[in-house]
């Protein structure tokens, strides 16, 4: 996309007006508005506030999400990521009308919808994000700090295998379930209605968080027992 004012290439900071003209950002948009007499008054558009908030919110996330994860260590990385994912879910609740309509109500509604799709992609990035790995063979567990060995060339190696010892992987449920694993896990607890299940399962809140991450990742709705003892 090129800017309607300076003709430069736009990036994630881009901004549109209600006719669908794109601009680099606030500066080019403001210049254009002050120079072009026929420009429509976007400020009176019914969706302008939602659009502006959504746009600024997304840009803010884009600039900060990785730094926020880099600022924490060990098990806090998982907890921080989960907290961020929950916060993004709240955006979805707030703008759900736009999402259901797939942005079908003019350019601002369409842009809001596109931002929601971008937020979904961002959730996947956050789910997949891991601190830089230490040299393989011998790693320090991100939770308990014990030293453990990794099979480097194993085909089934997952993202988390180099970061968590087996014990912590069992207890803290990092990462996501594969789609098949997720369906099996959900079936099991759907049948039990989660009720007895959570009292039997140690580390249930960690397990629930993994279910949540997996659902987001595979675009599967949360089961209705998702809030059961979710907090620690
Ligand atoms: Zn420009
Ligand atoms: Zn450990």
75-114: pLDDT as tens digits: 899 999 999 999 999 998 999 999 999 989 999 999 999 9
- Which pLDDT value is given to residue 136? 63
Inform me whether the pLDDT recorded for 202 exceeds 80: no
Give the pairing of strands 138-140 and 147-149. Answer: antiparallel
Q: What mean pLDDT, rounded, does the chain reach?
A: 89
30 Cα to the center of ligand 1, angstroms: 10
In angstroms, rounded to a whole number, what is the distance separating the alpha carbons of residues 182 and 188? 10
118-160: pLDDT as tens digits: 999 999 999 999 887 666 667 888 888 899 887 766 667 777 8
- Which pLDDT value is given to residue 80? 96
In angstroms, rounded to a whole number, what is the distance separating the alpha carbons of residues 82 and 95? 20
Rounded to an integer, the average pLDDT of 21-27 is: 97
Rounded to an integer, the average pLDDT of 176-191 is: 91
Which one of 156-165, 170-179, 194-203 scores highest in mean pLDDT? 170-179
Inform me whether the pLDDT recorded for 198 exceeds 70: no
140 Cα to the center of ligand 2, angstroms: 8
Q: Which residues contact 45 (CB under 8 A, 6 or more apart)?
A: 18, 51, 108
For the CA of 24, the nearest ligand: 1
Angle between helix 107-128 and 75-94 (nearest 10): 160
Inform me whether the pLDDT recorded for 209 exceeds 70: yes
Rounded to an integer, the average pLDDT of 52-74 is: 96
49 Cα to the center of ligand 1, angstroms: 22
213 Cα to the center of ligand 1, angstroms: 38
- Which pLDDT value is given to residue 145? 87
166 Cα to the center of ligand 2, angstroms: 7
- Which pLDDT value is given to residue 59? 97
The tokens 């996947």 sit on which residue? Answer: 124
Burial of 136 (0-12, 13-18, 19+ CB in 10 A): middle
Cα separations (Å) of 143 from 67, 148, 150, 173, 216? 20, 12, 16, 11, 24
29 Cα to the center of ligand 1, angstroms: 7
- Which pLDDT value is given to residue 46? 95
Predicted confidence band at 193 (pLDDT cuts at 50, 70, 90)? Answer: low
- Which pLDDT value is given to residue 137? 65
Neighbours of ion ligand 1 (CB under 5 A): 3, 5-6, 8, 24, 28
- Which pLDDT value is given to residue 154? 65
In angstroms, rounded to a whole number, what is the distance separating the alpha carbons of residues 198 and 223? 14
Cα separations (Å) of 124 from 48, 88, 92, 117? 28, 11, 15, 11
- Which pLDDT value is given to residue 197? 60
């Amino acid at each position: 996309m090129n800017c309607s004012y300076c003709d430069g290439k736009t990036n994630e900071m881009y901004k549109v007006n209600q006719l669908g003209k794109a601009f680099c950002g606030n500066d080019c948009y403001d210049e254009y508005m002050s120079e072009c007499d026929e420009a429509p008054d976007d400020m009176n558009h019914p969706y302008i506030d939602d659009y502006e908030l959504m746009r600024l919110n997304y840009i803010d996330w884009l600039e900060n999400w990785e730094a926020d994860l880099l600022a924490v260590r060990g098990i806090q990385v998982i907890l921080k990521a989960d907290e961020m994912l929950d916060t993004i879910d709240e955006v979805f609740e707030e703008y759900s009308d736009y999402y259901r309509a797939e942005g079908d109500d003019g350019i601002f509604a369409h842009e809001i919808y596109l931002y929601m799709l971008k937020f979904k992609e961002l959730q996947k990035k956050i789910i997949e994000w891991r601190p830089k790995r230490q040299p393989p063979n011998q790693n320090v567990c991100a939770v308990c700090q014990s030293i453990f060995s990794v099979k480097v060339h194993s085909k089934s190696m997952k993202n988390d295998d180099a970061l968590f010892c087996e014990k912590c992987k069992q207890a803290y449920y990092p990462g996501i379930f594969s789609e098949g694993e997720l369906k099996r896990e959900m079936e099991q607890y759907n049948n039990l209605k989660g009720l007895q299940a959570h009292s039997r399962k140690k580390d249930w809140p960690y397990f629930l968080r993994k279910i949540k991450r997996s659902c987001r990742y595979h675009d599967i709705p949360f089961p209705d027992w998702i809030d059961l003892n979710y907090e620690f």
